[in-house]
Amino acid sequence: MKTETDFADLSGKKALVTGAAGGIGQAIVKALTASGAFVVGVDQHADGVVSDDMLPGDLTDPDYCDTLPQQAAEVLGGLDIVINNAGIIRRGPVTEASDEDFRLSVSVNIEAPFRICRAAIPLLEENGGGAIVNVASCWGVYPGQNHPLYCMTKAALASLTQCLGKDHAHQGIRVNAVCPNEVNTPMIRSGFEIRGLDPDRAILELNQSVPLGRIAEPEDIADVVLFLASEKSRYMCGALVEVNGGKAVA
Ligand SMILES: NC(=O)c1ccc[n+]([C@@H]2O[C@H](COP(=O)([O-])OP(=O)(O)OC[C@H]3O[C@@H](n4cnc5c(N)ncnc54)[C@H](O)[C@@H]3O)[C@@H](O)[C@H]2O)c1
Protein backbone atom coordinates (compact mmCIF):
# COMPACT_ATOMS: atom_id res chain seq x y z
CA MET A 1 0.00 0.00 0.00
CA LYS A 2 1.22 3.50 -0.78
CA THR A 3 1.87 5.70 2.22
CA GLU A 4 2.09 9.49 2.46
CA THR A 5 5.86 9.09 2.76
CA ASP A 6 6.02 7.49 -0.71
CA PHE A 7 4.45 10.60 -2.15
CA ALA A 8 6.38 13.27 -0.27
CA ASP A 9 9.04 12.30 2.21
CA LEU A 10 9.24 14.91 4.95
CA SER A 11 11.07 12.70 7.43
CA GLY A 12 12.50 14.83 10.24
CA LYS A 13 11.29 18.12 8.75
CA LYS A 14 10.01 20.68 11.22
CA ALA A 15 6.79 22.50 10.40
CA LEU A 16 4.64 25.29 11.78
CA VAL A 17 0.95 25.20 10.76
CA THR A 18 -1.54 27.97 11.58
CA GLY A 19 -5.27 27.37 11.75
CA ALA A 20 -4.37 23.86 12.90
CA ALA A 21 -7.75 23.24 14.54
CA GLY A 22 -9.76 24.06 11.41
CA GLY A 23 -11.06 21.79 8.69
CA ILE A 24 -8.15 22.21 6.29
CA GLY A 25 -5.62 22.78 9.10
CA GLN A 26 -6.32 19.43 10.75
CA ALA A 27 -5.93 17.67 7.39
CA ILE A 28 -2.63 19.49 6.75
CA VAL A 29 -1.27 18.50 10.17
CA LYS A 30 -2.23 14.87 9.58
CA ALA A 31 -0.72 14.81 6.07
CA LEU A 32 2.57 16.39 7.23
CA THR A 33 2.78 14.05 10.23
CA ALA A 34 2.06 10.99 8.09
CA SER A 35 4.92 12.08 5.82
CA GLY A 36 7.36 12.10 8.72
CA ALA A 37 7.35 15.79 9.70
CA PHE A 38 7.26 17.14 13.24
CA VAL A 39 4.51 19.74 13.53
CA VAL A 40 3.72 22.62 15.84
CA GLY A 41 0.07 23.56 15.47
CA VAL A 42 -1.16 27.10 16.04
CA ASP A 43 -4.78 28.04 16.67
CA GLN A 44 -6.97 30.02 19.03
CA HIS A 45 -8.90 26.77 19.73
CA ALA A 46 -6.27 24.55 21.35
CA ASP A 47 -8.76 21.69 21.84
CA GLY A 48 -9.04 21.15 18.07
CA VAL A 49 -5.31 21.08 17.33
CA VAL A 50 -4.30 17.55 16.32
CA SER A 51 -0.50 17.87 16.44
CA ASP A 52 1.50 16.69 19.48
CA ASP A 53 3.10 20.11 19.89
CA MET A 54 1.14 23.32 19.86
CA LEU A 55 1.47 27.02 20.53
CA PRO A 56 -2.11 28.18 20.97
CA GLY A 57 -2.90 31.87 20.71
CA ASP A 58 -4.59 34.67 18.81
CA LEU A 59 -3.10 35.63 15.44
CA THR A 60 -4.48 39.16 15.77
CA ASP A 61 -1.79 39.72 18.43
CA PRO A 62 1.26 41.14 16.57
CA ASP A 63 3.76 40.05 19.25
CA TYR A 64 2.46 36.49 19.13
CA CYS A 65 2.89 36.37 15.33
CA ASP A 66 6.34 37.97 15.44
CA THR A 67 7.64 35.38 17.89
CA LEU A 68 5.85 32.25 16.62
CA PRO A 69 8.52 31.03 14.17
CA GLN A 70 11.27 31.35 16.82
CA GLN A 71 9.08 29.64 19.42
CA ALA A 72 8.29 26.83 16.99
CA ALA A 73 11.99 26.47 16.14
CA GLU A 74 12.77 26.15 19.86
CA VAL A 75 10.08 23.50 20.37
CA LEU A 76 11.10 21.50 17.29
CA GLY A 77 14.85 22.16 17.18
CA GLY A 78 14.70 24.10 13.90
CA LEU A 79 12.24 25.16 11.24
CA ASP A 80 11.90 23.96 7.62
CA ILE A 81 8.25 24.50 6.70
CA VAL A 82 5.67 27.19 7.47
CA ILE A 83 2.01 26.83 6.48
CA ASN A 84 -0.02 30.02 6.81
CA ASN A 85 -3.43 28.37 6.72
CA ALA A 86 -5.54 30.28 9.29
CA GLY A 87 -8.12 32.57 7.76
CA ILE A 88 -11.49 34.14 8.40
CA ILE A 89 -14.33 35.10 6.11
CA ARG A 90 -16.59 38.14 6.46
CA ARG A 91 -19.58 38.04 4.16
CA GLY A 92 -21.78 40.67 2.54
CA PRO A 93 -21.39 43.78 0.40
CA VAL A 94 -18.96 46.52 1.39
CA THR A 95 -21.85 48.77 2.47
CA GLU A 96 -22.62 46.30 5.26
CA ALA A 97 -19.03 45.80 6.41
CA SER A 98 -18.09 47.17 9.83
CA ASP A 99 -14.72 48.60 10.83
CA GLU A 100 -14.26 45.48 12.92
CA ASP A 101 -14.93 43.22 9.91
CA PHE A 102 -12.26 45.15 8.02
CA ARG A 103 -9.71 45.11 10.84
CA LEU A 104 -10.18 41.43 11.62
CA SER A 105 -9.99 40.37 7.95
CA VAL A 106 -6.79 42.35 7.39
CA SER A 107 -5.32 41.20 10.69
CA VAL A 108 -5.84 37.44 10.29
CA ASN A 109 -5.66 37.07 6.50
CA ILE A 110 -2.83 39.51 5.72
CA GLU A 111 -1.00 40.85 8.77
CA ALA A 112 -0.46 37.50 10.51
CA PRO A 113 1.04 35.79 7.40
CA PHE A 114 3.17 38.89 6.77
CA ARG A 115 4.55 38.86 10.32
CA ILE A 116 5.07 35.09 10.34
CA CYS A 117 6.84 35.12 6.94
CA ARG A 118 9.04 38.04 8.00
CA ALA A 119 10.12 36.27 11.17
CA ALA A 120 10.42 32.81 9.60
CA ILE A 121 12.57 33.62 6.56
CA PRO A 122 15.84 34.19 8.49
CA LEU A 123 15.23 30.97 10.45
CA LEU A 124 14.55 28.98 7.28
CA GLU A 125 17.70 30.42 5.76
CA GLU A 126 19.68 29.40 8.86
CA ASN A 127 18.40 25.86 8.31
CA GLY A 128 19.66 25.89 4.72
CA GLY A 129 16.36 26.82 3.08
CA GLY A 130 12.76 25.76 3.39
CA ALA A 131 9.20 26.11 2.17
CA ILE A 132 6.36 28.46 2.98
CA VAL A 133 2.87 27.57 1.80
CA ASN A 134 0.11 30.14 2.11
CA VAL A 135 -3.54 29.13 1.91
CA ALA A 136 -5.09 31.84 -0.22
CA SER A 137 -8.27 31.26 -2.25
CA CYS A 138 -9.57 31.14 -5.81
CA TRP A 139 -11.51 34.21 -4.73
CA GLY A 140 -8.24 36.03 -4.17
CA VAL A 141 -7.45 35.50 -7.85
CA TYR A 142 -10.96 35.81 -9.35
CA PRO A 143 -13.22 37.63 -6.87
CA GLY A 144 -16.66 36.15 -6.19
CA GLN A 145 -19.68 38.30 -5.44
CA ASN A 146 -20.48 40.01 -2.15
CA HIS A 147 -17.33 39.03 -0.23
CA PRO A 148 -15.10 42.08 -0.86
CA LEU A 149 -13.14 41.86 2.41
CA TYR A 150 -12.41 38.18 1.94
CA CYS A 151 -11.50 38.53 -1.75
CA MET A 152 -9.36 41.62 -1.14
CA THR A 153 -7.39 40.08 1.73
CA LYS A 154 -6.88 36.78 -0.12
CA ALA A 155 -5.68 38.75 -3.16
CA ALA A 156 -3.14 40.46 -0.91
CA LEU A 157 -1.97 37.09 0.40
CA ALA A 158 -1.67 35.79 -3.17
CA SER A 159 0.37 38.86 -4.12
CA LEU A 160 2.58 38.52 -1.03
CA THR A 161 3.22 34.91 -2.09
CA GLN A 162 4.24 35.92 -5.61
CA CYS A 163 6.55 38.66 -4.27
CA LEU A 164 8.22 36.51 -1.61
CA GLY A 165 8.50 33.63 -4.05
CA LYS A 166 10.76 35.81 -6.20
CA ASP A 167 12.56 37.67 -3.43
CA HIS A 168 13.68 34.67 -1.37
CA ALA A 169 14.31 31.94 -3.95
CA HIS A 170 18.02 32.83 -3.90
CA GLN A 171 18.08 31.79 -0.22
CA GLY A 172 16.63 28.38 -1.04
CA ILE A 173 13.27 29.42 0.35
CA ARG A 174 10.28 28.55 -1.82
CA VAL A 175 7.08 30.47 -1.17
CA ASN A 176 3.92 29.22 -2.89
CA ALA A 177 0.17 29.33 -2.32
CA VAL A 178 -2.71 26.97 -2.70
CA CYS A 179 -5.95 28.57 -3.89
CA PRO A 180 -8.94 26.35 -3.10
CA ASN A 181 -12.44 26.95 -4.35
CA GLU A 182 -15.17 25.45 -2.13
CA VAL A 183 -14.06 23.07 0.65
CA ASN A 184 -16.27 21.11 3.05
CA THR A 185 -15.18 22.73 6.34
CA PRO A 186 -16.79 24.76 9.15
CA MET A 187 -16.00 27.92 7.14
CA ILE A 188 -18.31 27.03 4.27
CA ARG A 189 -20.88 25.20 6.42
CA SER A 190 -21.32 28.21 8.71
CA GLY A 191 -22.25 30.30 5.66
CA PHE A 192 -25.14 27.95 4.88
CA GLU A 193 -26.26 27.91 8.53
CA ILE A 194 -26.34 31.73 8.63
CA ARG A 195 -28.66 31.64 5.62
CA GLY A 196 -30.91 29.13 7.40
CA LEU A 197 -29.94 26.23 5.12
CA ASP A 198 -29.07 22.67 6.11
CA PRO A 199 -25.30 22.44 5.35
CA ASP A 200 -25.43 18.77 4.23
CA ARG A 201 -28.24 19.39 1.76
CA ALA A 202 -26.69 22.66 0.58
CA ILE A 203 -23.39 20.89 -0.10
CA LEU A 204 -25.14 18.13 -2.07
CA GLU A 205 -26.63 20.86 -4.23
CA LEU A 206 -23.32 22.70 -4.53
CA ASN A 207 -21.66 19.44 -5.63
CA GLN A 208 -23.75 19.59 -8.82
CA SER A 209 -21.98 22.81 -9.83
CA VAL A 210 -18.49 21.25 -9.76
CA PRO A 211 -17.28 19.47 -12.94
CA LEU A 212 -15.60 16.76 -10.80
CA GLY A 213 -18.97 16.18 -9.11
CA ARG A 214 -18.18 17.35 -5.58
CA ILE A 215 -16.71 20.23 -3.65
CA ALA A 216 -13.29 19.58 -2.10
CA GLU A 217 -12.71 17.71 1.13
CA PRO A 218 -9.95 19.12 3.37
CA GLU A 219 -7.64 16.24 2.36
CA ASP A 220 -7.83 17.32 -1.30
CA ILE A 221 -6.27 20.63 -0.28
CA ALA A 222 -3.84 19.15 2.27
CA ASP A 223 -2.27 16.88 -0.38
CA VAL A 224 -1.46 19.90 -2.55
CA VAL A 225 -0.03 21.72 0.48
CA LEU A 226 2.08 18.63 1.17
CA PHE A 227 3.37 18.69 -2.42
CA LEU A 228 4.26 22.41 -2.17
CA ALA A 229 6.00 21.85 1.16
CA SER A 230 8.06 18.97 -0.18
CA GLU A 231 10.97 18.54 -2.55
CA LYS A 232 8.51 17.25 -5.14
CA SER A 233 7.82 20.94 -5.93
CA ARG A 234 11.50 21.91 -5.73
CA TYR A 235 11.40 24.18 -8.79
CA MET A 236 8.20 26.08 -7.83
CA CYS A 237 8.49 29.60 -6.40
CA GLY A 238 5.70 32.18 -6.13
CA ALA A 239 3.09 29.91 -7.72
CA LEU A 240 -0.64 30.24 -7.03
CA VAL A 241 -1.99 26.72 -7.41
CA GLU A 242 -5.75 26.58 -7.99
CA VAL A 243 -7.45 23.52 -6.57
CA ASN A 244 -11.02 23.74 -7.83
CA GLY A 245 -12.32 20.43 -9.19
CA GLY A 246 -12.65 22.11 -12.57
CA LYS A 247 -14.97 24.83 -11.25
CA ALA A 248 -13.76 28.28 -12.20
CA VAL A 249 -15.06 31.23 -10.22
CA ALA A 250 -17.92 32.65 -12.32
N1 LIG B 1 -13.44 26.28 3.23
C2 LIG B 1 -13.34 26.83 2.04
O3 LIG B 1 -14.25 26.72 1.20
C4 LIG B 1 -12.10 27.60 1.67
C5 LIG B 1 -11.95 28.01 0.34
C6 LIG B 1 -10.80 28.72 -0.02
C7 LIG B 1 -9.85 29.03 0.93
N8 LIG B 1 -10.04 28.64 2.22
C9 LIG B 1 -9.00 29.03 3.18
O10 LIG B 1 -8.51 27.89 3.83
C11 LIG B 1 -8.00 28.24 5.12
C12 LIG B 1 -8.55 27.28 6.17
O13 LIG B 1 -9.97 27.43 6.18
P14 LIG B 1 -10.99 26.32 6.69
O15 LIG B 1 -11.99 26.17 5.62
O16 LIG B 1 -10.26 25.13 7.21
O17 LIG B 1 -11.68 27.16 7.84
P18 LIG B 1 -11.92 26.82 9.39
O19 LIG B 1 -12.77 27.92 9.86
O20 LIG B 1 -12.35 25.41 9.54
O21 LIG B 1 -10.44 26.96 10.00
C22 LIG B 1 -9.80 28.18 10.21
C23 LIG B 1 -8.98 28.06 11.48
O24 LIG B 1 -8.26 29.29 11.67
C25 LIG B 1 -8.32 29.61 13.05
N26 LIG B 1 -8.22 31.05 13.28
C27 LIG B 1 -9.01 32.01 12.75
N28 LIG B 1 -8.70 33.21 13.30
C29 LIG B 1 -7.69 32.98 14.18
C30 LIG B 1 -6.96 33.82 15.06
N31 LIG B 1 -7.21 35.12 15.18
N32 LIG B 1 -5.99 33.26 15.82
C33 LIG B 1 -5.73 31.93 15.75
N34 LIG B 1 -6.41 31.09 14.95
C35 LIG B 1 -7.37 31.60 14.17
C36 LIG B 1 -9.70 29.13 13.50
O37 LIG B 1 -9.78 28.96 14.91
C38 LIG B 1 -9.87 27.85 12.71
O39 LIG B 1 -9.46 26.71 13.44
C40 LIG B 1 -8.43 29.70 5.36
O41 LIG B 1 -7.36 30.56 5.13
C42 LIG B 1 -9.51 29.90 4.32
O43 LIG B 1 -9.66 31.24 3.94
C44 LIG B 1 -11.12 27.94 2.61
CA 247 from centre of chain = 20
Residue 59 Cα: closest atom of ligand 1: 32
Q: Residue 21 C-alpha to ligand 1 middle, in angstroms?
A: 9
CB 132 within 8 A of CB 114: no
Residue 184 Cα: closest atom of ligand 1: 1
CB 157 within 8 A of CB 106: no
Q: What does the pLDDT read at residue 125?
A: 97
Alpha carbon distance 218, 107 (integer Å): 24
- Classified by CATH at the fold level, domain 11-181+221-241 comes out as Rossmann fold (3.40.50)
43 CB less than 6 Å from ligand 1?
yes
The best mutation among 17, 26, 43 to test binding of ligand 1, ranked by most ligand atoms within 8 Å of the C-beta, falls on: 43
Q: What does the pLDDT read at residue 229?
A: 98
pTM for this model (two decimals): 0.97
- Model pLDDT for residues 74-133, shown as the tens digit of each residue: 999 999 999 999 999 999 999 999 999 999 999 999 999 999 999 999 999 999 999 999
Q: What does the pLDDT read at residue 206?
A: 96
23 CB less than 6 Å from ligand 1?
yes
Point out the residues of the chain with pLDDT beneath 50: none
Q: Would you call 150 a catalytic residue per the annotation?
A: yes
Q: Residue 1 C-alpha to ligand 1 middle, in angstroms?
A: 32
Class of residue 56 by CB neighbours under 10 A (exposed 0-12, middle 13-18, buried 19+): middle
Nearest to 178 by CA among 31, 14, 5, 9: 31
Domain boundaries, the chain: 11-181+221-241, 182-215
Catalytic residue among 64, 142, 150, 235: 150
152 CB less than 6 Å from ligand 1?
no
4 CB less than 6 Å from ligand 1?
no
12: left (phi over 0), alpha (psi -120 to 50) or beta: left
Evaluate the CA torsion angle 135, 139, 145, 146 in order and state its sign.
positive
Residue 221 Cα: closest atom of ligand 1: 10
Alpha carbon distance 201, 131 (integer Å): 38
